Structure 1
Amino acid sequence: MTGAMMSHPLNTSDILKSAATRTPDQLIISDLPGGKRHRYTYKDALSRAARVANLLGQAGIGRGDRVATLAANHYRHFELYYGISGYGAVVHTLNARLFSEQLQYIINHADDRWIFLDPEFLPLLETVADQIGSVERIVVLCDPDDMPTSEVLTLENYETLLQDQPEAFDWPRLPSDAPCGLCYTSGTTGNPKGVLYEQGSTVLHAMMSGSSQYLDFNEWSVAMPVVPMYHVCAWGVPFSAPLYGARLVLPGAGLDGASLQQLIEDESVTQGFAVPTVWLNLHNYLQDSGKRIDTLQMVGVGGAASPRALVKTYDELYDVFWMGIWGMTETSPLATAAIRTPAMEEMTPEERYELQSSAGRPMFGVEIEIFDESGRPLPHDGVSRGNLRCRGPWILAQYFKGEGQDKFIDGWFETGDVAVINPQGYLRVVDRSKDVIKSGGEWISSVELENAALHDPAVNEACVIGATHPKWDERPVMLVTVKPGQLLDESKLRETLKQKVAKWWLPDAIIQVDELPHTGTGKLRKVELRDEYRDYLLHDQKTD
């Protein structure tokens, strides 16, 4: 016997169609180059997405064909999300911060047929112009008057192509497991691997991640995804925000503190989403400028561990709730969150900061577990550290083209994170497995050391890597940047660290640097730093 409900697969086009019907006048606001700001409604976005879909159909793009974007956070990129996926093709978001070799590999691996790109990314694409044979057309996302020229690529203008297309489209009812999006991992330990998202899983993720169990969107919300739309769909916010009728503020490429503060103030942003570095830079700007972010109520922070010192700063100085979150490209990407709860209101501030700086608890649909090296589950006691695995309806079952099969174990996805889970179910990622430092057979968490360093008032940012040691195999080396106008006192920093971590964890060297390298999404590039400082202690005469 089977149930008696209608077979009605969920499609991404349903989200925008619903938004254009239920909240037709809700705004999407985009910060554009040259100080321009664009405004239009969900109803406008649906008609423009329909033009995109008609263009693809007229040009012979097939169901499941990959159509790439190389663009920042703005309204044209938003309508491409829906026009391409709603048509039945696959939106492949290319990371604008990739090296040319990585970009070439990913475009060819995906067999991209078209690329829609922002003018500022044209020089990057030109570096691989003769090595991307699958690409048939390149469309520039700008007004006709702003079209760039190229000696090596044939370019077409987006607005010119759309102007003669109909504003209505007969959106197909696609199977739930039809592909709709493609995003590649960072590839820090080999070639990037593709994650192919499905129509149904993307809608389910939007429904749950936008709910009160996670981002808590509604028609009063003014949501600003600072995380780039080329990075796991800006954490799914371009899907979850319209599903719940929230206003969207898209910051373009302006991720600096001044630009974000201006947007928050001008557009009354209530919720923002970015990696910790972005909120650190905004804090530094606010301290220097004396400006305010009075409308901001919550920041969702993922992509790296949440520094407890910043959680406290945002609470005490700005009355902003810092919500630690966790997810990956492979989890669509949101999986766990430290949402505000009634129980938190009964806690002391320090107890609350402890939970807010964690990755939180899984939302409905996501299961997490930690395992030892033999594959045995470990207790949720807040102490036991294990390899984090997860499973659920929007979590990857296999990589694009069947790669990376070793990551899938007994129905679980092996995340590559080392984590603890406390008795209340809160997850804390203590390190990436490749970043944990093995010293004398014992493990040292680089993340915990970095967070401890931020309690020193002079430290702006810290990065800890494992350096080769003649006796202990590896020992930690700490690299720090210092806040403007401050001086680093190493002895005071070491005293601060002693209050936060075990004595044998203390770094063998503390090195002040002018800056630390970051990825395009604000994560530390530890691979580069390990390469540079791997033998540092072997040349340090003070090392034991």
Structure 2
Amino acid sequence: MQDRPLVLPHVFHRAEQLFGHKEIVTATAGAEQRTTIAEWAGRVRRLATALDRLGISADGRVATFSWNHAAHLELYMAAPCTGRVLHTLNIRLFPEQLSYIVNHAEDEIIFVDRSLLPLLWPLTDKMDTVKHFVVNDDGADADIPDDPRILDYERLLAESEPYQGRFVVEDENSAAAMCYTSGTTGNPKGVVYSHRSSVLHSLISLTADGVALSERDVVMPIVPMFHANAWGLPYGCLLAGSSMVFPGPNMTPRAILELLAKHRVTVTGGVPTIWMGALPMLEQFDLSALRTVLCGGSAAPKSLSEAFREKLGIPMLHAWGMTETSPIATMSTPRSQHDPLSEDERADVRARQGQAVPLVELRLVDPETGDELPWDDQHTGEIQAAGPWIAKEYYRGEGGGAQFTEDGWLRTGDVAAADRYGFVRLVDRTKDLVKSGGEWISSVDLENEIMSHPKIAEAAVIAIPHERWVERPIACVVVKPGETLTSAEVLDYLRPRVAKWWLPDAVEFIEEVPKTSVGKFSKKTLRDKFAGYKLPGAEG
């Protein structure tokens, strides 16, 4: 067999040669921008020589601070195909986290959308290694400072000659991209994706029991391109030859649904909060072309998935993973063993996070004893993962002891059960479990039951210290607009649905559940908000 490296230049050249006629659409603040993959590939070649001309190191970090659009996709290829490292910066991080990440990664150049420049520019004096800021004019009216470090993206491409010939990366284990964790505790940590891991992960998105991307698909990644490489969808689309639609900066539910309908999108993906916002408007749009609505980032309520099935005729396709798993580790596509089940039983299966995709291995481990647990849907433990696109360490070797086992498995921090077929059911994050009187309460399961109430939009459950029981749950509830609800009504609704000792000790009504930088519920923010909270009867 030929010894050919698994590298991203293959993905680029395949798209350029075979799928040049396919279209890429980007929604901007003004009109939509349309280009073909052939035109896009020519711009990638100009960008490659521009990086050389600007003196970016052979393995330099090329950062992006951008929305989802075709120019961002150009950087997805130009950086790794020239041996450099794409570093996608999370636009929703706190300023101190952002400047820390840029310095920690030693970014040499940042490509930034004009609409996002006001967020980035006040921090630039603290970014020690950055030589250039290249502004992509996305139609925003934000002022551009008069600074010699600032360059215009289109002018940079126009002044650069196209790279000639084939891109060559010889070492498949060399770094292709990096992404930092969202940093809910301590400083964010860098995860470095190799060319090999990126190619293998992209291949899985083409498999039948995965997303099953094909040349016939029109794909719209709603998940941000700064979040774990948009779940691998950009590279997967290029490999398959799928047409692409990028939503740009307008991430409102109506704008997203308008794009899905107008462009007859067949595959899309986003976090549960995106789909919660879109749910009330689904019937206003013709979404009949959709075959897959991918949902990940956190466990989605069963009620949300089933509401989509009722309105669109297709259920959500749940997936599970994290930055450290590139991120796809499981997919919840229906299998033959589910055919005899009743519709209610199938709904329970659809709410799971699914089976490990090929090449990924999972195990459940008791977090206290370290013992491996059976897959019988009764035992719950921490999911640990291993595979060719699972991180073995963080950038610069940080945090290894806490996150990685001695035998090389990733400690994910997610608590789950799995049935005998390996279908994973997320229970909680280890730090979000409520331990009451020595027994675990799943905040995720409790939230899902609360959010099945027809008057409730969102709910998050957190643990509050208790003198007798150590911890007890309280429910933080967001009521749907125009509805009214009492604590007693919420508890009465839950009584037939959960064990008596799972019932929250209190229900607090809030305007909105706070979100992390990637759209997950921020339990840490709620715990800080309710620090010192006195539960009814806690004194006893």
What range describes the TM-score normalised by the shorter chain of this pair?
A: over 0.9
* Superposed displacement of residue 374, structure 1: 2.0
State the distance in 1 between where 2:138 and 2:454 align: 47
1:138-153 to 2 correspondences below 5 Å: 138-142=133-137, 148-150=143-145
Match for residue 352 of structure 2 among 324, 347, 358:
358
Would you say the 8 A contact 1:297–1:321 is kept in 2? no
Task: Tell me which residue corresponds to 2:234.
Answer: 238
Secondary structure of the 1:127 match is helix
Distance (Å, rounded) in 2 between the aligned partners of 1:462 and 1:145: 35
Which position in structure 1 is the counterpart of 2:439? 442
Contact 1:16-1:42 within 8 A present in 2 as well:
no
SS at match of 2:32: strand
User: Post-superposition, which runs of at least 4 consecutive aligned residues in structure 1 deviate over 6 A?
Assistant: 143-147
Q: Which amino acid aligns with 2:174?
A: A
The equivalent position to 2:264 in structure 1, one of 268, 274, 283, is 268
Counterpart CA distance in 1 for 2:387 and 2:531 is 38
In the other structure, the counterpart of 1:88 is 83
Q: Counterparts of 1:94-493 in structure 2 under 5 Å?
A: 94-142=89-137, 148-150=143-145, 154-170=149-165, 171-286=167-282, 290-372=284-366, 373-406=368-401, 407-409=403-405, 410-493=407-490
| Contact 2:472–2:505, Cα closer than 8 Å, also in 1 | yes
Q: Give the Cα separation in 2 of the matches to 1:269 and 1:490.
A: 41
Query: How far apart are 1:154 and its partner, in Å?
Result: 3.4
Contact 1:116 1:141 in 2 (8 A): yes
Partner Cα separation in structure 2 for residue 469 and residue 208 of structure 1: 46
Counterparts in 2 of 1:504-543, with a 5 A limit? 504-538=501-535, 540=536
Matches of 2:528 and 2:110, distance apart in 1: 34
TM-score of the superposed pair, with normalisation by structure 1 = 0.95
- Measured after TM superposition, the shift of residue 210 of structure 1 is 2.6
Residues in 2 aligned to 1:382 and 1:230: alpha-carbon distance in whole angstroms: 34
Q: Give the superposition deviation at 1:328.
A: 0.7
Contact 1:88/1:174 (8 A) holds in 2: no
Structure 2 residue runs of 5 or longer lacking an equivalent are: none
Structure 1 166/343 Cα, relative in aligned 2: closer, same or farther at 3 Å? Answer: farther
The AA in structure 2 aligned to 1:447 is V
Does residue 1:57 correspond to 2:49, yes or no?
A: no
**1:226 corresponds to which letter in structure 2?**
I
Quote the Cα distance in structure 2 between the aligned partners of 1:397 and 1:169: 36
1:146/1:15 CA distance change after superposition, 3 Å = farther
Once the two structures are overlaid, the 10-residue window that deviates more, 496-505 or 217-226, is 496-505
Deviation string for 1:438-470 (max 9, x for gaps)? 112211111111001011100111011111222
CA separation of 1:245 and 1:423: change in aligned 2, threshold 3 A: same
In 2, distance between residues paired with 1:499 and 1:293? 36
Distance 2:422 2:182 in 1: 28
Q: Distance in 2 between matches of 1:537 and 1:405?
A: 37
Residue 136 of structure 1 aligns with an amino acid whose one-letter code is K
TM-score by length of 2: 0.96
Give the stretch that moved more between structures: 391-400 or 5-14.
Answer: 5-14
Structure 1 residues 380-389 or 493-502, which shifts more? 493-502
**Alignment CA distance shift 1:489-1:391 (3 Å):** same
CA distance in 1, matches of 2:140, 2:151: 12
Tell me which amino acid in the other structure corresponds to 2:353.
Answer: A
Shift of 1:152: 6.8
Shift of 1:59: 2.2
| Gap regions ≥5 residues in structure 1 | none
C-alpha distance in 1 between matches for 2:539 and 2:333: 44
Instruction: State the number of aligned residues.
Output: 536
Distance in 1, Cα, partners of 2:538 & 2:356: 46
In the TM superposition, what is the alpha-carbon distance from 1:125 to its structure 2 partner?
1.3
Distance 1:189 1:145 in 2: 34
